[in-house]
Structure 1
Amino acid sequence: MIGCENRAAVGRNPISGRDTKVTSIKLILRASAACAALAMCQPVAAEVPGYQAKVEAKLREVKAEVAKGPFKPDWDSLRTQYRTPDWFRDAKFGIFIHWGVYSVPAFANEWYSRNMYVPGNPAYEHHVKTYGPQSKFGYKDFIPQFRAEKFDAARWVDLFADAGAKYVIPVAEHCDGFAMYASDFTEWDASDMGPKRDTTGELAKASRAAGLHFGLSSHRAEHWWWYHKGRSFPSDVSDPKYAGLYGPAAPTGLPADDPDLWPDGGQLQQWMPPSKAFLDDWMARTAELVDKYQPELIYFDWWTSAPLFEPLMRDTAAYYYNRSAERNYQGIIAYKGSQFAEGSALFDMERGKTDALKLTPWQSDTSVSVHSWGYAQNDEYRTPQSLVADLIDIVSKNGNLLLNVGPRADGTIPDEIATVLRGMGGWLKVNGEAIYGTRPFHYFGEGPTKSGQVRVGGQVEESARKGFVPADIRFTTKGDTVYALGLAWPQDGEVLVKTLYKGTPYLDAPIKSIELLGAGAIDWEQTPTGLRVKLPANAAAKDYPYTLKIRVR
C-alpha cells in the first residue's frame, strides 16, 4: 500500500515566498488526516519484477549524481549556472506531440481518461452510452485498440521539418499513467502493450537523424489524483489488478468543483499531498527518461508546482543539468507556474503569450487544434496564417513557439493538421531568416493589439485572442539587419513603421536598403513620423504576414 510519510522542507520558498516549515507541517497534518481515505488506494506501480529494488537503485544514482555537481540542488546554484543554450534561442519553433491511449476514444479532449470516471461529465455520459459501464469497460480496455499500426516516426519528422520546426517534444507520459516509452518501472507502457513499440525512442532516433533537436514532456505528477473519481462508483479503478495503470487515485482534498481551486488557482497547498512512495516513483521515472533518451529539453506539466514537489524539482534540475553536462550538452527544463525559481529553467506559457519583451528566453506552447491537445473527432483547427502571426509575435519578445499536434490512434496525422504545418513551412522557407537565429530588437514592436486580456505577470490569455491589424508590426535583428514583420497586410499597400522614424535612436546607422522578402527591393522613405514603405500590388500571399528586410551601415 502507499506510504503516508512525506518530506518536510524548512525555510522560506524563494519561488512562492511561503514559509516552507509552516506549509510542510500543514501538508503533513493533511496527509495524516487523509491516510484513512488513502487506505483503499492502489499501489504506486504494478508489480514488475524487482520494482522496489529498481526504484531504490535509481534513487541512489540520482543522489550520487546530484552530490557530484557542479549543479547543486539549491536555487542559488541552479540560477547562477543555468543558461538557455544558443541552439534553442536560434531554433524558435518546435513541435509538441500529444499521442496516447486517449487517441482511441478521441472524444472531447485528452482528459478523457479522467473525465470518463466523473459522473455528470459529457465524457462519462458518452462512455456509458458508447462502451457500457466503467465496471465492464474501463480506460484499460482501450489499450488493445491503440495499435499505432501506421506510425512511421521518420514520416512524422519529415512533416515537422517541412513545417520549419527545429525541435520535437513528444509527451512521454500523460496524466493517464500509460507510458509512451520503454519503462523499467511499469508494464503499462507502449513497449509492452498497445503498439508494443518504444514510440518515444523511435521519435528520438528519427528526429536526430533529420538534424532536429529532441526533448520530451512528463505529466506523471498528476497521476497521483487523476482517477480518484473512479472510486466514487463501481468501476475498474478500484480493481487491484489494474493498479499499475490507475495508480493511487488519491482524493484531491479540494472542495468539489471549486473554480478557484481547479486546476490550481494559486492554491496548490490545499491539494492532498502525494506520498513518499509516489514521489520516489516519480523521481525514478524522471531520471529514467533522462538517461534512456538524453533529451535536450524536458517539459513538466503544472502539478509539479505542488509544495511537496519542490525538493524533487531541485534534485531533478541538478541531476538533469549535471547529466547533460557530462554528455556535452546543456539541458533545458521548461516549466510553468511556480515550479522553479526564476532564472533556473525556461519559463513556459501554456496557450498564452507575454505582452512585452522579456530579457530572458521563454516559450509559448499552443496547439493546432482549438479544443484538445490530443486527437479528438470534430475538433476545430487554427489557420497557418494566424499561427505564423503568433510565431512572429512570440519571437519578437524573445520567445519560442512549441506547437502541438494530436495524431490519431493508428499513428497518422490528420490532413487538417498537415495542411496547417505545410502552410507555415511555406512561409518560413521565404521569411525564415527573419525568425531563425535572430535576437530581439530594442523594442518588440508597435501597434494596438495585445491579443487578449493580460493575466498576472504580463501573460496574455490565448482564449481572448484578437486578430492582428495592419498597424501591428514586430521586430527582430540579426547582424546589421533589422526585420520589420507586418502581422496583417494593409489594403492600400501603405506601411508606416513609426518606431523607425528619421533620427530614431533605435538604429545604430543609417538605412542602406530595404527589401520585401520574396519580392525584392521596394521603395521607401524615412520621415520624421516614421519609415514609409509601399508594398507591391502584385505580391503573393497577402493573407500571410510579410517581412521587410532593413539593412543598415
Structure 2
Amino acid sequence: MNRSSYLEQIQQVIARGDFKESWESLQSFDVPDWYKQAKFGIFIHWGLYSIPAFENEWYSRNMYIPGSKAYEHHIEVYGKHTEFGYKDFIPMFTANQFDAKEWATLFKASGARYIMPVAEHHDGFQMYKSDVSFYNAFHMGPGRDLLGEMKQAFEEKHLIFCASSHRAEHCFFMSHGRSFPSDIHKPLTRSDFYWPAEPEPDHHDLFASPPSIEFLEDWLIRTCEIVDLYQPKLIYFDWWIQHAAFKPYLRTFAAYYYNKGKEWGIPVAINYKFDAFMFGTAVPDVERGQFAELQPYYWQTDTAVAKNSWCYTEENVYKSSVDIIRDLIDIVSKNGNLLLNIGPKADGSIPVEDQRILLDIGDWLRRNGEAIYETIHWRISGEGPTTIMEGHFTDHEPKPYTSQDIRFTFKDTTLYAILLVYPQDGRVRITSLRIKSPHFAGIIQMISVLGFEDQVHWQQTPEALYIQSRPMSTLVPVVFKIQLN
C-alpha cells in the first residue's frame, strides 16, 4: 500500500463530503434508525488468543509479564519466550472448523439484528485480508479472509455487518517482553508484528507517553481500510483512543467514515467509551454495565456471556440466559442497545454453552420481540425496588429482581409492561399506571399477555393498575401488551 496516497485519498473524501474534521461538524451526526430499531447485537472475540484459551483475551500482553499466571502457564505449556513467542501461535490458528454460514444461522436464531466481529484486537493480528500488514488471516494462519466470509454469510441472512478495532492498545500491548529475554526486542519497524511495543503508560494519564505520529497514521490507515474493504454499518472502538494524541485522528476517521456512509447511501455509526469522542458525535458505550435511569441520548452496553473473559477459555464462568434477557429488557427500556459477546474456540466452532444462551434468548425474542424491536422508551423506564448499580464493569453479579420490578417500552399505540420476575399467582400491580398517575392519563383499551391466548382481568384504581393473569411458574420475563385508545 502507498501510505501517502491513501492518506491523501482520506482527505479527498472529507473535502468533498458534508462532514469535516471538527467536533462542531461531527455533531450533525444522527444515530441511524436501523440501529435504534435493532436493539440487540452480537460481539465476537476470536483470534490468536483463542489458541492458548487461558485466563482471557489479554494473553498476548500477560504472557510477557514475569510472575503473572499467563507467564507461568506459557512456560509450562509452550516453553521459554525466546523459543516460542506470541507470533508462534499464528501457524496454529487454522480455523479448520469455521463455517460462516453456520455462525449466521445461529446468530439469526438468537434474534440478534447486527453482528460485530473483532477485526483486529490488541495483539495486532488482523482477521481479514489487509494490504497494510502481512500479519493477517489471509496471508498467514488460516489463509482465509475470515471477515469477508462473515460479511457475506451474515448479509445473506439479513444480519447487519459491523466491525470493531482494538488496535489503539497495540502501541504498548507487547512491551513487557522487552524487560527479559524473549522474542520481542528492539529495534522494531512498522513491518514487525510486535511494533512498536512502547513502554506501557499510566492508563489514567491521557497526556503521558503519546503514541508516535507514525503509529497514529498507521492506526488511521488500518481503520479506514476496514471501512473501504467491508463497508461495516457500525464501527466499535475499544479504550485508549481517549488519549489526547488520538483526538485529531478520531475526528479525521469519523469525518471519513460518515462521509463514506453517505456515499454508500448507508447510515453508519461509531461506538466509543470513556469520552473518547465529543458528546453528540457518536454513540457512547458502557462496558459490562448499564445505567440506573432512562437516558435522553441513545447508548449501548457491551458485555459477554462469560463473566471472566471475552474470548473462549476452558475456565469460562457463564451468566444465565435469563439474567441476560433481563439486562436486555432493562437496557432497551432506558434508550439503549445490548451488544452481547461470545467467544468461539480457536478452530472456529462455537462452544455449546454460548450456543445454548443465544438460542434461549432467541426463543424468548420469538415470543416477545415486539416489545423490544422498533420500540422507543416511554416516559419512565420502569418501576420496582431493585436498584441498578451503574457504570462500567458493574454487571458481574445478577440483579436481585422481584415481581415488583417492571420495565416499559412503547410502540405506536401500545405500551409494553415487562415483568422481570413473574409472580406465580399471576397477580400484577403497576403503580405507574394508576388513576391520576403523573406518568399516565390515557385510556386503556385492552390488555393481553404475549405468547398466550388467555384473557386477563384488569382494574385501574387510584392505587395501581391491577392485572390478574394465568397462575404459572416461569423463570423468564413476561410481557403485558397494553393497547391504548
Give the TM-score range, shorter chain.
over 0.9
Aligned residue for 2:378, secondary structure, equals strand
The number of residue pairs the alignment matches comes to: 483
Give the CA RMSD over aligned residues. 1.5
Q: Which amino acid aligns with 2:97?
A: K
Q: Does structure 1 residue 544 correspond to structure 2 residue 482?
A: no
Mapped to 1, the partners of 2:472 and 2:431 lie a distance apart of 25
Q: Residue by residue, what CA displacement relative to the aligned partner does 1:270-314 show, whole Å, maximum 9, x if unpaired?
A: 3x1100111111111111011000010000111100100000000
Alignment of structure 1 residues 472-551 onto 2, 5 Å: 472-507=405-440, 509-520=442-453, 521-538=455-472, 542-551=474-483
Mapped to 2, the partners of 1:463 and 1:407 lie a distance apart of 21
Aligned residue for 1:495, secondary structure, equals strand
Mapped to 1, the partners of 2:194 and 2:44 lie a distance apart of 23
Q: Does structure 1 residue 139 correspond to structure 2 residue 86?
A: yes
Q: Residue by residue, what CA displacement relative to the aligned partner does 1:443-473 show, whole Å, maximum 9, x if unpaired?
A: 0001122333x44xxx682235522211110
Aligned residue for 1:355, secondary structure, equals coil
Q: Which amino acid aligns with 1:279?
A: L
Q: Which amino acid aligns with 2:279?
A: E
Q: How far 1:239 moved relative to its partner?
A: 6.8
Q: Does structure 1 residue 251 correspond to structure 2 residue 185?
A: no
Q: Does structure 1 residue 462 correspond to structure 2 residue 392?
A: no
Aligned residue for 1:440, secondary structure, equals coil
Q: Which amino acid aligns with 2:131?
A: D
Q: Does structure 1 residue 94 correspond to structure 2 residue 44?
A: no
- Unaligned runs of 5+ residues in structure 1 are 1-50, 255-263
Q: Which amino acid aligns with 2:207?
A: Q
Q: How far 1:207 moved relative to its partner?
A: 1.1
2:143 maps to what in 1?
196
Q: TM-score, normalised by structure 2?
A: 0.97
Q: Which amino acid aligns with 1:322?
A: N
Q: Which runs of 4+ in 1 moved over 6 A?
A: 239-242
* Contact 2:291–2:388, Cα closer than 8 Å, also in 1: no
1:221 maps to what in 2?
168
Q: How far 1:240 moved relative to its partner?
A: 6.2
Closer, same or farther: CA 460–375 of 1 in aligned 2, 3 Å: closer
Closer, same or farther: CA 253–162 of 1 in aligned 2, 3 Å: closer
Closer, same or farther: CA 197–72 of 1 in aligned 2, 3 Å: same
Q: Which amino acid aligns with 1:436?
A: Y
2:267 maps to what in 1?
330
1:63 maps to what in 2?
11
Q: How far 1:525 moved relative to its partner?
A: 1.1
Match of 1:368 among 269, 294, 305: 305
- Unaligned runs of 5+ residues in structure 2 are none
* Contact 2:307–2:396, Cα closer than 8 Å, also in 1: no
* Contact 1:355–1:460, Cα closer than 8 Å, also in 2: no
Q: How far 1:535 moved relative to its partner?
A: 2.8
Match of 1:170 among 92, 117, 120: 117
Alignment of structure 1 residues 116-131 onto 2, 5 Å: 116-131=63-78
Closer, same or farther: CA 386–406 of 1 in aligned 2, 3 Å: same
Q: How far 1:503 moved relative to its partner?
A: 3.0
Q: How far 1:252 moved relative to its partner?
A: 2.2
Q: How far 1:374 moved relative to its partner?
A: 0.7
Q: How far 1:442 moved relative to its partner?
A: 0.5
Mapped to 1, the partners of 2:188 and 2:376 lie a distance apart of 54
Alignment of structure 1 residues 392-403 onto 2, 5 Å: 392-403=329-340
Q: Does structure 1 residue 311 correspond to structure 2 residue 245?
A: no
Aligned residue for 1:490, secondary structure, equals coil
2:283 maps to what in 1?
346
Mapped to 1, the partners of 2:352 and 2:8 lie a distance apart of 47
Q: How far 1:64 moved relative to its partner?
A: 1.2
2:184 maps to what in 1?
237
Q: How far 1:489 moved relative to its partner?
A: 1.6
1:427 maps to what in 2?
364
